[in-house]
Amino acid sequence: MKRVLVLCLGNICRSPIGEELIRLQGIKNNFPLEVDSAGTIDWHAGKAPDPRSQAVMRTRGLNISDQQSRQLMVSDFNHFDIILCMDRQNLIDAKRIAQGPAELHLFVEGMDVPDPYYVGETGFEQVYTMLEKASREWIEQWSKKTNS
């Protein structure tokens, strides 16, 4: 079983969407996963995902309202196999506290997923589209490594 942590700044916009999309792709592809998400800051700890993140998922029949924001912890680097960061700043922040074998990568290879917090609904749609495609690609990549 692969253990995956999805990371963004506050863990209320991008990473809750990414967490659910990775989880769903794992289920669709019969690829065993443990998936969680976190933020590099604790401003929203204990809160549900942003209503706009919930809405973009709800329009696709998905419910993320039970997720709760939490901050990245040093212990995450030993528990998770891979940490998928939404942008380069999240990657830098994670590397600052990294202590353990977890691999750190951008969620979308070679590019930042923009934070839609101040942008509005179209920003959340863009994030969903980017993360949905990247989720499929990650599961495909991990499946190939497992079957090799």
Alpha-carbon radius of gyration of the chain: 14
Per the annotation, the verdict on 13 as an active-site residue is: no
Per the annotation, the verdict on 60 as an active-site residue is: no
Q: Which of 13, 14, 76, 87 is catalytic?
A: 14
Per the annotation, the verdict on 115 as an active-site residue is: yes
Q: Which of 36, 50, 76, 115 is catalytic?
A: 115
Q: Which residues are catalytic?
A: 8, 14, 115
